């Protein structure tokens, strides 16, 4: 991997536009294990109104949704392809994202691959790289909370040791 300038793939205005426009998110590498980060991200996105489509050949169903072996199998339009895979898998996933007409290729923290970004960009996809979609959603559209969920409680009372 070469030294890639990541700031061009992390523009806050682009991130906000993508998140606001999206309705359907295919998560490549979504795990059925509730303790994995990908599972929690998928759960969070579902709770915030997105249609989450699992893409994992090892699972038949995740988060109540049918899981697909790859993006080519997904039978509906995908706005964002969110990637929880090794960086070396990104060029192939980017090619699949282009082939299905996705609008955005979004890679999670540390999933950085210049060739994958180039494939998606040359086909007109928006690319967000090395950013957690859950964190960015909470930052711009939701409310940040240490559990990752909006507790619905607002208080001016200081919490102290009990």
First to last CA, the chain: 51
* The pLDDT value given to residue 162: 44
Domain boundaries, the chain: 23-140
* The pLDDT value given to residue 146: 53
Measured distance CA(45)–CA(162) in Å, rounded: 34
Q: Tell me the pTM.
A: 0.87
* The pLDDT value given to residue 3: 77
* The pLDDT value given to residue 143: 64
Helical (H) or strand (E) element with 46: helix 37-47
Can you spell out the DSSP letters for 106-125?
EE-TT---HHHHHHHHHTT-
Asked if 129 contacts 10 with a C-beta cutoff of 8 angstroms, the reply is yes
Per-run averaged pLDDT (10 residues), the chain, 162 residues: 84 97 98 97 97 98 98 98 98 98 98 98 98 95 60 50 45
* The pLDDT value given to residue 155: 47
Best CATH choice for the domain 23-140 from the list 3.40.50.11540, 3.10.20.600, 3.40.50.720, 3.30.460.10: 3.40.50.720
Tally DSSP H helices, then E strands, for the chain: 5, 7
């Amino acid at each position: 991997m070469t030294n890639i300038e990541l700031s061009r793939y992390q523009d806050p205005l682009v991130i906000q536009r993508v998140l606001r426009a999206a309705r359907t998110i295919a998560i490549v590498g979504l795990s059925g294990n509730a303790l994995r980060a990908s599972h929690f991200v998928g759960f969070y996105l579902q709770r915030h109104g997105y249609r989450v489509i699992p893409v994992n050949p090892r699972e038949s169903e995740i988060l109540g949704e049918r899981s697909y072996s790859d993006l080519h199998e997904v039978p509906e339009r995908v706005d964002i392809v969110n990637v929880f895979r090794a960086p070396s898998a990104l060029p192939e996933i980017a090619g699949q994202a282009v082939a299905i007409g996705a609008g955005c290729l979004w890679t999670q923290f540390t999933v950085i691959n210049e060739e994958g970004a180039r494939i998606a960009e040359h086909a007109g996809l928006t690319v967000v790289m090395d950013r957690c979609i859950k964190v960015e959603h909470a930052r711009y559209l939701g409310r940040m909370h240490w559990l990752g969920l909006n507790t619905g409680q607002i208080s001016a009372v200081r919490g102290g040791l009990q």
